[in-house]
Amino acid sequence: MPVKLASQLGERKIIEIFLKVFGKPKIKHIPLGDDISGFKVTKDLWVILKVDCFVDKTDMPPGMSFRQAGWKAMIMSISDFACKNVTPKVALVNVNFPSNMDKKSLLDVALGLKDAAKTYGIYILGGDINEASNLTITTIISGLGKLRDIILRSGAKPGDLLAVSGKFGKTSCGLKILLENLDAPTHIKKKLLKAVYKPKVKLNLGLNLKKFGVTSSIDSSDGLAWSLYELSKASNVGFIIKKLPIAREAKIFAEINRLNPVDLTFYGGEEYEIVATLNPRIYGRIKKELKRKFMVIGEVTKEKKIVYIDKGEEVKIKPKGWEHFKTE
């Protein structure tokens, strides 16, 4: 029997292997496979946890500073709290780096972690440091929440609205500039690179999801297409997308470089937006100014297919996105 390598399995298959070995915890817990983990500690309160790892080889594109690396490492975990309607409170950090890394670079990593934590109201309690062949930063964030307030991936219903907290494509374009030497006008290029180097999380919006009638939600960091497939799997529904949520700068970049705007929108990643389904009755009653916080792009269907309607034609959205071990 041939030996399968990690590069053949891919991140998601490897996760399945580990979860199968671990089995289900014998305590009340949030179902495995959501954006966050959690377990019950009192009648009403649950401890909510998230761990993520920044690796310079895959997460630090050319030109990113060590301070920006520290910032991004913290953002990667915060984003998952934002889409769950849970306040992140404290963090532990583990930084691994080679012995020849200079003091200034180490200081910048620490400052980046602190910048992000302070911006989003998180206290860093401590952590661990180890020697390694390259820079990796692991962030573990925790908070408390009531189970009835936590929004999982599994609550979408046919007839719900499909919405996103922002437009997509800027990070994809920025990475194409850095990794494929594509170009854009200076003012456009600056905005695209900013999306790569210092991503933001809409935590304030994420902590008010109930007001919008959100029934399910997910962080979009692995790409919009893959996020939709994860929601589809968890909620046993499909999606029809009627409006392409592409950023203006990404649309211009696509025209200049003759790229497919649909690909830039759906198959990028690291955009840290909230992808959500909304109860139409609740969403219809909220104030007009609040509605601008979400962009409705389609609807939830009973049929488990994910398509984008482009000029009257159905375009099948493929289950593609960022996947460690497989994605170059």
The CATH number covering residue 296 comes to 3.90.650.10
Tokens of 211: 């007001």
Confidence label for 16 from pLDDT (cuts 50, 70 and 90) = confident
- pLDDT tens-place string over residues 209-226: 999 999 999 999 999 999
Give CA–CA dist 10/209, Å, rounded: 32
Q: Are residues 141 and 179 in the same domain?
A: no
Residue 83 lies in a domain: yes
C-alpha distances out from residue 126 to 66, 92, 109, 110, Å: 19, 5, 14, 11
Q: Are residues 184 and 236 in the same domain?
A: yes
Q: What is the DSSP letter of 309?
A: E
Number of domains within the chain: 2
User: Of the candidates 164, 210, 149, 153, which has an alpha carbon nearest to the alpha carbon of residue 34?
Assistant: 153
Domain boundary among 128, 149, 170: 149
| % the chain with pLDDT above 70 | 97
Residue 192 lies in a domain: yes
Q: Are residues 62 and 127 in the same domain?
A: yes
Q: What does the pLDDT read at residue 1?
A: 59
Range of the domain at 238: 161-316
Residue 217 phi/psi, 5° resolution?
A: -160, 160
Token match 């909304």: residue? 278
Domain boundary among 149, 178, 212: 149
Q: What is the gyration radius of the CA atoms in the chain, in angstroms?
A: 20
Q: Are residues 135 and 169 in the same domain?
A: no
Q: Are residues 112 and 257 in the same domain?
A: no
Residue 286 lies in a domain: yes
Q: Is the pLDDT of residue 328 over 70?
A: no
| Range from 12-26, 32-46, 84-98 that averages highest in pLDDT | 84-98
Residue 325 lies in a domain: no
Q: Is the pLDDT of residue 324 over 80?
A: no
Give CA–CA dist 139/118, Å, rounded: 14
CATH number for the domain spanning 88: value is 3.30.1330.10
Tokens of 246: 């592409």
Q: Is the pLDDT of residue 155 over 90?
A: yes
Q: Are residues 137 and 267 in the same domain?
A: no
- pLDDT tens-place string over residues 139-153: 999 999 999 999 999
Q: What does the pLDDT read at residue 30?
A: 86
Mean pLDDT over 86-98 rounds to 97
196 versus 25: the higher-pLDDT residue is 196
Residue 324 lies in a domain: no
Domain boundary among 123, 149, 175: 149
Residue 108 lies in a domain: yes
User: Of the candidates 216, 255, 220, which has an alpha carbon nearest to the alpha carbon of residue 236?
Assistant: 216
Confidence label for 6 from pLDDT (cuts 50, 70 and 90) = confident
Q: Are residues 228 and 86 in the same domain?
A: no
Q: Are residues 208 and 125 in the same domain?
A: no
Q: Is the pLDDT of residue 300 over 70?
A: yes
In this prediction the pTM is 0.92
The number of C-alpha atoms within 13 Å of 229 and in the hemisphere containing its C-beta is: 15
Q: Are residues 79 and 223 in the same domain?
A: no
Does residue 123 contact residue 91 with C-beta atoms inside 8 Å?
yes
Residue 1 lies in a domain: no
Q: Are residues 177 and 200 in the same domain?
A: yes
Confidence label for 232 from pLDDT (cuts 50, 70 and 90) = very high
Q: What does the pLDDT read at residue 219?
A: 95
Give CA–CA dist 307/98, Å, rounded: 46
Q: What does the pLDDT read at residue 251?
A: 97
Q: What average pLDDT is seen over the chain?
A: 93
Residue 3 lies in a domain: no
**Least confident stretch, 9-13, 132-136, 150-154, 168-172:** 9-13
- pLDDT tens-place string over residues 238-273: 999 999 999 999 999 999 999 999 999 999 889 999
Q: Is the pLDDT of residue 200 over 90?
A: yes
- pLDDT tens-place string over residues 279-298: 999 999 998 878 889 999 99
Q: Are residues 284 and 173 in the same domain?
A: yes
Q: Are residues 128 and 179 in the same domain?
A: no
